[in-house]
């Protein structure tokens, strides 16, 4: 998939649109690759008709659709460093996460996206497909030795030789991953 994105980004005539949501909303773009928040909040009052589709399959051999979960949306909680009730905070955050998954996420999907933002039954079915198999790349969260940034830069044409750039950071990235896995293993 990265090769296909790189090929598109490196073609003459493609560019980064700072305000891509409004460019699409105003009828000046063929498609908009964006998150659910664009559909839910920015496109609801769009004059032109639009449909909702999952990210295309890599090729015909791919069994199902895969949706990349964006790790950059609000998904983090900050706690004071002098917090003395760490275990209680952990229990509370886990409970809130469970309730969010059980109650909030289905309402976002069914009420907001399918009920208010989707304009036809086909788009409602596509939303079901999108939410069936969400994938979160752990590197998009932890950016081991700036490796996620490297992939983005290669895709956008800011850097050219992946092999040599990866060779520079590979050892550090592997060390950072190993440390994280050790921390995960220590969790009871």
Q: What is the full per-residue pLDDT of the chain (188 aa) written as tens digits? A: 566 666 655 555 555 544 778 888 888 888 888 778 778 888 888 899 999 999 899 999 999 998 887 766 555 667 777 878 888 888 988 899 899 889 998 998 999 999 988 999 999 999 999 988 888 888 888 999 999 999 989 888 888 899 999 999 999 999 999 999 999 899 87
What's the confidence (pLDDT) of residue 17? Answer: 45
Token pair for 125: 């079915």
Question: How much is the pLDDT for 145?
Answer: 97
The reply to whether 170 and 125 lie within a common domain is no
Residues 117 and 149 in one domain: no
Shared domain for 56 and 82, answered yes or no, is yes
Looking at the fold, whether 89 and 148 belong to one and the same domain comes out as: no
pTM over 0.85: no
Domain count, the chain: 2
Question: In terms of domains, do 19 and 106 share one?
Answer: yes
For residue 5, give the nearest of 114, 122, 157 by alpha carbon: 157
Same domain, 132 and 185: no
69 shares its domain with 155: no
**Do both 79 and 116 map to the same domain?**
yes
Looking at the structure, tell me whether residues 172 and 118 fall in a common domain.
Answer: no
Round to whole Å and give the CA distance between 74 and 104: 14
Distance from C-alpha of 124 to C-alpha of 53, rounded to nearest angstrom? 10
Q: Check if the beta carbon of residue 139 is closer than 8 Å to that of residue 115.
A: no
Q: Please tell me the predicted confidence (pLDDT) of residue 12.
A: 53
Q: Which helix (H) or strand (E) holds 93?
A: helix 86-99
pLDDT reported for residue 11? 56
Q: What is the pLDDT of residue 63?
A: 92
Q: Which residues pair with 134 in a beta bridge?
A: 67
> How many other CB atoms are found less than 10 A from the CB of residue 147?
20
- Based on the fold, state whether residues 113 and 151 are members of the same structural domain: no
Domain that holds residue 67: 2-136
- Name the residue among 14, 69, 24 with its Cα closest to residue 51: 24
Asked if 188 and 115 sit in the same domain, the reply is no
Treating both helix axes as pointing N-terminal to C-terminal, what angle do 2-10 and 147-155 enclose, rounded to 10 degrees?
A: 50
User: Could you tell me if 30 and 110 lie in one domain?
Assistant: yes
């Amino acid at each position: 998939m990265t090769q296909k994105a790189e090929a598109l980004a490196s073609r003459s005539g493609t560019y980064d649109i700072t305000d891509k949501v409004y460019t699409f909303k105003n009828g000046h773009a063929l498609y908009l690759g964006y998150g659910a928040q664009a559909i839910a909040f920015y496109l609801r009052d769009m004059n032109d008709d639009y449909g909702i589709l999952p990210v295309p399959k890599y090729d015909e051999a791919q069994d199902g659709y895969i949706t990349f979960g964006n790790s950059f949306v609000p998904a983090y909680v900050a706690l004071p460093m002098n917090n003395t009730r760490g275990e209680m905070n952990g229990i509370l955050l886990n409970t809130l996460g469970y309730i969010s998954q059980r109650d909030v996420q289905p309402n976002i999907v069914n009420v907001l996206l399918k009920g208010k933002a989707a304009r036809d039954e086909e788009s409602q079915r596509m939303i079901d497909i999108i939410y069936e198999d969400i994938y979160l790349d752990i590197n998009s969260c932890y950016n081991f030795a700036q490796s996620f940034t490297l992939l983005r830069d290669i895709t956008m044409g800011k850097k050219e030789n992946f092999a040599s750039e990866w060779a520079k950071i590979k050892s550090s990235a592997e060390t950072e991953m190993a440390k994280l896995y050790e921390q995960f293993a220590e969790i009871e």
